[in-house]
Chain A
Amino acid sequence: MENRTGDPDEALLTQSRNGDPAAFESLIRKHQRMIHSLTYRMTGSLADADDLAQETFLRAYRQLGSYRAVSKFSTWLYRIAINLCLNWRQREKLRVEVHANWAEMQSGAGAWESPPAGSELNGRLHAALLKLPGKQRAAIMLTIYDGLNHAEAAEVLGCSETTVSWRVFVARRKVKGWLTHERF
């Protein structure tokens, strides 16, 4: 297989493809926290984050045969996780609306399941992120939390770099606006 990325996971991937469960377990151990953080930030729910992270690795394993090493394995995993989260958001729209309404009524921190302890601003930021449309939130997650540059985020999200830049810009403006003008 062509490998243009110099992916550090390449050896484990090859072993996993050959049916070695221990190799795939190592891959999971390596990426589980990153994927779980992403799914939690995308959903705002620990229980859903657990399920989506698990589903991400299940899908990845089942699609290992279709993985082409033109991008890093982690980028590919991100893409699976983001797509699952975006689909989840559509399915759970009603639930998210309830959460968002609650977030508006409450002081923000309460809107998230088991939120981390922090300042009032932390809670308001969580609530503001929850209000963002899925794709804008995904752009923020990838570029700010996971440190991907806009080109890498574009690869994960399956859109152009300009679109990512625009989504990040709009999302930041919205969050800033909500935090500045709205009372949570």
Chain B
Amino acid sequence: MKDFDLESELKALRVPERGQEFWDAFPQRVLAQLRSAPAPQPVRRMAPPRLAWAAGLALACLAAAFCLWQSRTERAVCYAFLRDERELRRTIQHFPDHVRALMQDEHGLHRLIEDPP
């Protein structure tokens, strides 16, 4: 097959011609269809997909932030317990039989150390 200019060949392609009667009647057919068809019901506008994606993303970010915060809080509590336990062991090691009372409040672990009676 000979080389050819595709564009000019494509442009040369013709569409089958409809008769003049067709074109004369076509607008009337459309208008008749419009008159016969019931008026379109107002469609409830759906949220645009972009907005839905943004809302989904924001929700996912919130969930991730909550999980992160939760795990950090749990980790902080665990660290506090471990630190207190270490302190307790050290205190007992240094003052065997001297620890009379232990108290835990928001400021941490408190010890009451007294000489044995």
Contact = CB atoms under 8 A, between A and B. Distances in A.
Interface of A: 21, 24-25, 28-29, 32-33, 36-37, 40-41, 46, 53-54, 57-58, 61-62, 114-116, 118, 121-122, 125-126, 129, 140, 144-145, 172, 175-176, 179-180
- Dominant secondary structure of chain A at its interface with chain B: helix
A125 B27 contact: no
B101 interface: no
B6 A24 contact: no
B16 A115 contact: yes
B27 A58 contact: no
A25 B27 contact: yes
B40 to A, nearest CB: 5
Interface string B4-19: 1011011111111110
A33 B22 CA distance: 11
A180 B40 contact: no
Given A61-B34, A62-B40, A172-B6, A54 B26 contact: yes
Given A58-B37, A144-B7, A28 B30 contact: yes
B102 interface: no
A145 B16 contact: no
Given A21-B31, A116-B13, A179-B1, 18 more contacts: A25-B27, A25-B31, A28-B30, A28-B31, A36-B26, A40-B15, A40-B16, A57-B30, A62-B40, A114-B16, A115-B16, A116-B14, A118-B12, A122-B12, A172-B6, A175-B6, A179-B6, A180-B1
